[in-house]
Chains A and B, each alone.
Chain A
Amino acid sequence: MNDEEIIELFFERSEQAIKELDIKYGKVFLSLSNKILNDELDAEECVNDAYLATWNAIPPTRPNPLLAFVCKIVRNISLKRYEKNTATKRNSRYDVAMEELEDCLASSTTIEKEISERELTDIIESFLESLSKENRVIFMRRYWFSDTYADIAKLVGLTEKNVSVRLTRIRNDLRKYLSEREVLL
């Protein structure tokens, strides 16, 4: 079933919409959530919560693309659960990916421009635009989806080492990009 048909089912308030969404993308959502939480049961709960949120959002929203729309919900719910869980454990793939970014984003001084999340999102989007498609995908798969190097290497057809090198370069570029915009001082 294509995305438009699934969305139509949501608009008809048919519970089949959730089933079809799960059949088509359920594994993607579960994988995404599990990479953040490192706990299958928690991940399943988050995906179910995301389905409920999707059910509440459609209608009136008519998402395009559907996959990205629900992925965002899954990620947000999973991150909230993650924050709740982090007091007791820090061992997910998300942690590892974030530690890489900490090194990249850490300011050498305590002076740092206050920047709103929206402004930062705009800057990140413009940075993403500056990347080649393949590098953009690599970056997003690593820091949005929390994919491992092996996952990314398999997806884009590169070696793990090549992915690692590329990510290092992208992070360096990101740091430079943010510094030039005085986000990092």
Chain B
Amino acid sequence: MTAKHFSNALGNVNEKYVDEAATYTPKTKKKIWVKWVSIAACFSLIAIGITIGSILHSPDTTDKGNNIASYFVITAQAANGESMDLSVADSCLNSGTAQGNIFGVDMPTFHFDVRPSDIKSNEAIYERFDISISYNETVVEWNKDEHIMVAYLISTQQSDVPWAYSIIGWFTEPTDVVINILDKESRKTVESITVNVTYLADKQEYELKVTDLTTEFPKQ
């Protein structure tokens, strides 16, 4: 079969498919994809691992920072720290430097920069970055020498440092990641989300599949 043969047949498909594509507008999302720049090159896997352990597996941790986890985020980042795509609430569109103190655990400082023009058009602009992510469906893809970071964003309730990451982990191998969502008062797990990080060997890509994703965090 030739492409021309196919193209001719495609040209005769029902007009509903043409109309659907001609009039398509993406769903309005609660969360908007934005680009964060120049962050976390210095993140240490070991330190993060310790942090994660402290955050997720210590229900009795004291909330020294008076933080409230607000939004759940799955995100990914190149290991070289060039970029980050993530989902954030409208209210946290901002730029600057943030350093989180999450559930009593200090987080690394990072810089973020959200360009309003990108947000307004609901269009993240990517330049030379290698990773991208879709919310609630697919996908993180990146070069094989990069890492994927799974994290969620929380509000610190502090005017100078309003938002910070709670990082679940960095992954370079296929794995299942269980994300425990803690009740903000009791710090006990109220919900778990399984994230499958799989490796597509033939394409040298990773795929992050999120099952049972909760948009509001924590679940009330």
Contacts and interface: CB of A to CB of B under 8 A. Distances in A.
A125 B13 contact: yes
A105 B19 contact: no
Interface in A88-113: 98-99, 101-102, 105, 107, 112
Given A128-B17, A137-B20, A161-B141, A117 B1 contact: no
Interface string A55-77: 00000000101011101100110
Interface residues of A, number: 52
A159 interface: yes
B9 A124 contact: yes
Interface string B112-140: 00000000001110100110101001110
Nearest to B24: A137
B134 A144 contact: no
Given A102-B2, A140-B18, A159-B126, A79 B11 contact: yes
B5 to A, nearest CB: 7
Contacts of B20: 133, 136-137, 140
B20 to A, nearest CB: 6
A120 B11 contact: no
B126 A161 contact: yes
Contacts of B14: 125
Contacts of A99: 3
A118 B10 CA distance: 10
B33 interface: yes
Nearest to A163: B132
Contacts of B129: 159
B132 A120 contact: no
A137 B16 CA distance: 11
A158 B132 contact: yes
B15 A140 contact: no
B17 A140 contact: yes
A134 to B, nearest CB: 8
B137 to A, nearest CB: 8
Interface string B1-43: 1111111111111111111111110100000010000000000
Interface string A122-150: 00110010001110110011011100000
Interface residues of B, number: 41
Contacts of B85: 159
B199 to A, nearest CB: 14
A91 to B, nearest CB: 16
A107 B17 contact: no
A166 B203 CA distance: 12
Of residues B8, B10, B123, which shows the largest number of chain A Cβ atoms within 10 Å of its Cβ? B10
B17 A125 contact: yes
A29 B14 CA distance: 18
Given A67-B22, A137-B21, A144-B18, A165 B139 contact: yes
Contacts of A156: 24, 26
A76 B11 CA distance: 7
Nearest to A95: B3
A65 B2 CA distance: 30
18 contacts: A65-B19, A67-B22, A72-B18, A79-B7, A107-B1, A117-B9, A136-B17, A136-B20, A137-B21, A140-B20, A140-B21, A143-B7, A144-B13, A157-B122, A159-B85, A162-B134, A162-B138, A178-B1
